[in-house]
Amino acid sequence: MVIFENVYKEFADGTVAVKDFSLKIKKGELIVFVGPSGCGKTTSLRMINRLIEPTSGKVFVEGKDVSSVNPVTLRRSIGYVIQDIGLFPHMTIEENIAIVAKMLKWPKEKTAARVEDLLILAGLTPPAKYKNRLPEQLSGGQQQRIGVLRALSVEPNVILMDEPFSSLDPISRENLQSELKDLQKKLKKTVVFVTHDMDEAFKLADRIVLMNKGEIVQIGTPNDIRLNPAQEFVKTFIGLDRIMAFNASTFVDLILEKPELVLKSGEEASQVIKRVSNPKIIQVVDELGCWVGCVLPKDLEQGAQLGLTLGQVASAERRLLIESSTLADAAIALRESDVPIAIINQERKLLGVASDEGMARITIDWLINAKNQLLEPTPNA
């Protein structure tokens, strides 16, 4: 969706802001650029919509080299949310949200309907209560929410967010972070988010790009980076307290494993017995990859005797939703099961399994990591 190829940026005063920056951002991914002030994260983000031009290298959005696209056209196709919001004080909330749609000459009826839909999506209901207000009549958190809605107004596939919540009070900031996560689950946009706050990065990101002095230091999921910091700078920037923050509320995807065997629901149990030897458990999915249930050996044998398919004998009692399940949830479920448990998403797609072995492994890894962190000498000690 967004690709950086060997991007380098040097400003006129000789300052090198970004060095050899190469990255592929997947469609529907929320990726966070994080690092100390001056590390190049905002410069990298602004090269996506050509607010800053690279000195060398290329940036692609949806397969197009952005240098070949008119900058105004490009910016109107990409959502952009900034720290100081940038709402027009003399315009109503409806007019602020609809400004890009108006520039693109959307029909008035379509624009009005879109504004109402967005206000409802963000919980600003009823829309009539908010759309005719001026920005000064809203709280800071509500104004920032309007900034996010404006970025979504013309349904862009890519949204850039440059420290959008950093000026808010802690409660408003935490609420908006949660709302952004909820919106992302519903809309599945490609979001590039800049922050200097590691806690915010851990909370929001599918993947984190940790930068220092214009270079990428480490890329990975929040759990990857927390459990396997690549170098001393990463450990220092994250902080020992965050590295050791693995606990019962950590999401279950940390122990996600590949299932032993996944078969389609239409397969006959008798045929599976002939070609698969001694399966401990079979995860069963339909033609769309949605989880139907699991089949244990005794169920497989009974199904074969009765001439049934896997779908007809599969049990759907054991499952976890990865968006809402934690390691504590997994521990409780595994205590009541002697086989791995399927992990599915909100669309019931099978993502993997959780097992006793996986739980034990991550606990051991964390204990070893914690011990090493505590025993390592501090720099200059």
Q: Report the pLDDT value the prediction gives residue 372, as an integer from 0 to 100.
A: 66
Q: What's the pLDDT at 300?
A: 93
223 vs 246, residue with greater confidence: 223
What mean pLDDT do residues 318-328 have?
Answer: 75
The per-residue pLDDT for 357 is 87
What is the rounded average pLDDT of the residues 208-231?
89
Q: Classify residue 377 by its DSSP letter.
A: P
- 3-state DSSP call for residue 102? helix
Q: What is the largest CA-CA distance in the chain?
A: 80
In the structure, what pLDDT confidence band is assigned to residue 373 with cuts at 50, 70 and 90? low
Predicted confidence (pLDDT) at residue 218 exceeds the cutoff of 90 = yes
pLDDT of residue 17: 95
Q: Distance of CA 17 to CAs 109, 214, 215, 327, 340, Å? A: 45, 5, 9, 40, 48
CB-count burial class (<10 Å; 0-12, 13-18, 19+) for 302:
middle
What average pLDDT is seen over the chain? 86
Q: Hey, which of 37-46, 85-94, 134-143 has the most confident mean pLDDT?
A: 37-46
For 254-360, CATH gives: 3.10.580.10
pLDDT of amino acid 381: 40
Which of the four pLDDT bands, split at 50, 70 and 90, describes residue 227? confident
Pick the residue with more confidence: 144 or 64? 64
CA distances from 162 to 44, 180, 289 (A): 11, 14, 36
**Bridge-partner residues for 9, per DSSP?**
18
Residues 6+ apart with CB under 8 A from 252: 320, 322, 325, 326, 327, 329, 330, 343, 354
Contact 103, 111 (CB under 8 A): no
In eight-state DSSP terms, residue 378 is P
Is the pLDDT reported for residue 293 higher than 80?
yes
Model pLDDT, residue 166: 81
pLDDT at residue 377 above 60?
no
Which tops the pLDDT comparison, 249 or 101? 101
pLDDT at 362 over 80: no
> For residues 345 and 188, what is the distance between their CA atoms, to the nearest angstrom?
14
Give the model's pLDDT for residue 364.
Answer: 77
Angle between helix 356-375 and helix 327-335 axes, rounded to 10 deg: 140
pLDDT for residue 236 is more than 60 = yes
Residue range 211-235: mean pLDDT, rounded: 88
What percent of the chain clears pLDDT 70, i.e. is strictly above it?
Answer: 92
Q: Per mean pLDDT, which of 31-40, 74-83, 244-253 is the most reliable?
A: 31-40
User: Is 70 exceeded by the pLDDT of residue 376?
Assistant: no
- Beta-bridge mates of residue 264: 285
CA–CA gap between residue 248 and residue 199 (Å, rounded): 17
Distance CA 309, CA 293 (A): 12
Q: Stretch 144-167: mean pLDDT, rounded?
A: 87
The Cα 34–Cα 179 span in angstroms is: 20
- Is the pLDDT score of 24 beyond 80? yes
With a cut of 60, say whether residue 171 has pLDDT above it. yes
Cβ neighbour number for residue 79 with a 10 Å cutoff:
26
Average pLDDT over residues 80-95: 85
Say yes or no to pLDDT of 143 above 80.
Answer: yes
pTM: 0.68
Tell me which range, 6-15, 127-136, 351-360, is most confidently predicted by mean pLDDT: 6-15
Could you give the CA distance from residue 218 to residue 221 in angstroms, rounded to a whole number? 10
Q: Give how far Cα 27 sits from Cα of 61, 206, 293, 326, Å.
A: 10, 12, 29, 26
Which tokens belong to 105? 């000459």
Mean pLDDT in residue range 369-381: 56
pLDDT of residue 12: 92
Instruction: Give the distance from CA 362 to its chain's centroid.
Output: 22
Radius of gyration of the chain (CA): 25
The more confidently predicted of residues 365 and 100 is: 100
Alpha-helical runs (H) found in 55-159 = 71-76, 93-97, 99-103, 108-121, 127-130, 140-152
> pLDDT higher for 186 or 266?
266
- Please give the average per-residue pLDDT across 35-41, as a whole number: 92
Q: What pLDDT was estimated at residue 41?
A: 95
Distance of CA 33 to the CA centre of its chain: 12
Residue 24 per-residue DSSP state: E
Map out the domains of the chain as residue ranges. 2-247, 254-360
Q: Which CATH superfamily is domain 2-247 in?
A: P-loop containing nucleotide triphosphate hydrolases (3.40.50.300)
> 252 versus 74: which is more confidently predicted?
74
